[in-house]
Amino acid sequence: MRFFKPVTPWIAAVALTFGGLGHAQTREVTFAHQDMVFPYRTVMESGELEKATGYKINWRMFGGGGDVIKAMASGDVQIGEVGSSPLAAAASQGQDLKLIWILDDIASSDVLVARNGAGINGWKDLKGKKVAVPFVSTAHYSLMVGMKLDGVEAKTVNVMNMRPPEIAAAWERGDIDATFIWDPVLSKIRRTGKPIATSGDVGRKGYPTFDGLVVNAKWAADNKVFVVALIKAISKADAEYRANAAQWTAGSPQVKAIAKWTKADEKDVPDAMAAFVFPDTGAQLSSTWLGGGAARTLANTSLFLKEQGRLQEVKPDYASFIDTSYLKEAVKK
């Protein structure tokens, strides 16, 4: 589906920057995405970034941030979507990654949902229950922190490690009592369950989470123009959504593209997107996010993961895993 104008000003500018590079040498990048409903899925659908840069982009879908981190560590993936929890783990282990963009403030998009009739009305009711969550994900972090804050010992809950598709199947079979999960699975299970808490609830108590765009540091340095073009494309799509959210409805070309790339049901996409907050470039560079807040979140997350026995070491500073140079370059042009 091609529903954007063939050439926009930023595409023309990037194309001029790249010149005839695409004809002389085909450059290639593998991009690991997940199933979150982000505005820039429209960029993936339109092919505008490939047209602007001349790069061949291999879009590969992964079931969770932990899997993305493993693929990036192996060298199979150069750019990926990762939640703050798996990113904290990777940074603590010294992986050569840089956070370059905050894809979203998770806010109310990760939700703890209990099955109807499971007898779960709050955190304390999780004792003795089967709760599924993708391990080392932001939802896993929010689940464990939420239980701790409410005085629920982790050993009293049967926390089960499942990827989103596995959670959907287990829910259908009646194998689990609750799950902490995101869309598109979230929209499906809410039909026979009730929300108990969100990641935003946990975040307001001092433990926020986010999804970020990360790059292999060396690859990004060698392909700076592409990374800058990518940030400009994502920023543009986010801005279009913020300005016209009411028009992004089921049946619209934007929502059709998002549903295609995330395997979500079109009718669920608008409400699912509304649960996210997509920071603009000013907010990105502010102390809330890349200017300090993201590093604090990574540090706090790493400390918690170490307490849980999932990390051996916590770095003294996580600011070194954040690189704002690509965003600052994108803002200038």
Q: 9-106+209-332 and 111-203 share one CATH topology?
A: yes
Residue showing tokens 């930023």: 10
E strand residue ranges, the chain? 28-33, 56-61, 79-83, 97-105, 111-115, 130-133, 158-161, 178-181, 193-198, 210-216
Within 10 Å of residue 284's Cβ, how many Cβ atoms? 24
Per-residue pLDDT of the chain (333 residues; tens, 9 = 90+): 333 333 344 444 444 444 444 444 579 999 999 999 999 999 999 999 999 999 999 999 998 899 999 999 999 999 999 999 999 999 999 999 999 999 999 888 999 999 999 999 999 999 999 999 999 889 999 999 999 999 999 999 999 999 999 999 999 999 999 999 999 999 999 999 999 999 999 998 988 899 999 999 999 999 999 999 999 999 999 999 999 999 999 999 999 999 999 999 999 999 999 989 999 999 999 999 999 999 999 999 999 889 888 889 999 999 999 999 999 999 996
Surface-to-core class of residue 146, CB atoms within 10 Å of its CB (0-12 exposed, 13-18 middle, 19+ buried):
buried
CATH of domain 9-106+209-332: 3.40.190.10
Rounded to whole angstroms, how far apart are CA atoms 112 and 159? 12
Is the alpha carbon torsion for 33, 39, 43, 46 positive or negative? positive
The pair of structure tokens assigned to 48 is 């505008």
pLDDT in tens, 146-166: 999 999 999 999 999 999 999
Domain spans, the chain:
9-106+209-332, 111-203
Instruction: Choose the CATH number for 111-203 among 3.90.45.10, 3.30.460.10, 3.40.50.10860, 3.40.190.10.
Output: 3.40.190.10
Rounded to whole angstroms, how far apart are CA atoms 161 and 140? 9
Q: Give the model's pLDDT for residue 333.
A: 62
Helix (H, G, I), strand (E, B) or coil at 277: strand
How far, in whole angstroms, is CA 307 from its chain's centroid?
A: 24
> What does 178-190 look like in DSSP terms, one character per residue?
EEEE-TTHHHHHG
Residue 102, strand partner residues:
212
State how far the alpha carbon of 201 is from the alpha carbons of 186, 197, 198, 205, 326, in Å: 17, 6, 5, 7, 32
